[in-house]
Structure 1
């Protein structure tokens, strides 16, 4: 078995503050792919529901999700972690492909679409929250991470989760109640 080269050793060696920057780079690029998909999904839902009560609730959340993606890019820049464009493209493509799923309707938007989009966004924000929590813990050993910024991002993610969950429940009740009435049960 060959010994690792000096460049491989330096890439795998934990950062001076105890953080394995190569692993962190993979982790943050995966989150960036998710943030890309989430920002597209949130923006699409905000446009689709514009003018409604849901649109007024989701519009600001969509703007914050886009800001959170920008914050992640800034954090990555501050840590010297390069953006892996193929992962960003994968997040973009994944979100576009998810729109092609069958929803029981060919021409019109299914009543399930909004409910499922809210569920997907809720799960995405939950994943983002986990990422912010991980970075917040790392801020204790890496001074390049700003604990105050991460606390603010965590607080905002909590508000986003609450808004999305409240509307997800409303949509589920409305859609499933309509289905139950239509079937005569």
Structure 2
């Protein structure tokens, strides 16, 4: 558990950029988890991805609220990049991973786990910062950290359940 230190404050410019980078990543993550939900539609794993889409969307919204509560502004460039990515996704995303089968299906699941792992790193960073800055609510960050771990486990379970069909004859 982080120890409370005094006399140290966040460098707002770097913290704002870091949080904005994670928000951009969260927006991308929501799109990729929605694509995964469509990939697994009609299977026993559909509900896993439906739940994950909702959770990750809610977390993205919470991160955006935190950024605004801290008084930070979104980078116009990153905001535009997110809009371009969203528009591209609606136009017909290049998603060679959309079958859930073969090596591409495996890579899709591994990518989704990596996305959640990056989010876990964000929460670990915020937990450390909570010892220096009261604006970060450590109990909520711990909840989000546990949620990220559970999300990784959920995707890993789908991967483990489906890997034999991908690689065994």
SS in structure 2 opposite 1:53?
A: coil
What residue ranges of structure 2 are gaps of 5+ in the alignment? 1-6
Within 5 Å, which residues of 2 pair with 1:7-22?
Answer: 17-22=8-13
Greater relative contact order (Cα < 8 A, sep 6+): 2
Residue in structure 1 matched with residue 4 of structure 2 by the alignment:
none
Once residues 89 and 39 of structure 1 are traced to their aligned partners in structure 2, the CA distance between those partners, rounded to angstroms, is: 17
* Structure 1 residue 25 corresponds to structure 2 residue 16: yes
CA distance in 2, matches of 1:93, 1:119: 25
The separation in 1 between residues aligned to 2:164 and 2:25, in whole angstroms, is 28
Correspondence for 2:101 among 111, 122, 128: 111
1:70 aligns with 2:64: no
Aligned: 1:44 with 2:35: yes
| Stretch of structure 1 that moved more, 164-173 or 146-155 | 164-173
Query: Which residues of 2 match residues 71-90 of structure 1 at below 5 A?
Result: 71-90=62-81
Would you say the 8 A contact 2:16–2:73 is kept in 1?
yes
- Cα distance in 1 for partners of 2:156, 2:37 equals 15
Instruction: Answer with 148-157 or 82-91: which moved more.
Output: 82-91
Cα 1:149/1:52, change in 2 over 3 Å = same
Distance 1:89 1:117 in 2: 26
Q: Post-superposition shift, 1:176?
A: 1.4
Could you tell which deviates more after superposition, 132-141 or 87-96?
Answer: 87-96
Say yes or no: does 1:100 pair with 2:100.
no
Q: 1:139 aligns with which of 120, 123, 130?
A: 130
CA separation of 1:52/1:89 partners in 2, compared to 1, >3 Å: closer, same or farther? farther
User: Please, what TM-score do these two structures have when normalized by structure 1?
Assistant: 0.75
Report which of the two structures shows the higher radius of gyration computed on alpha carbons: 1
Aligned to 1:130: 121
Q: Residues 22 and 122 of structure 2 are in contact (CA less than 8 Å); yes or no, is this contact kept in structure 1?
A: yes
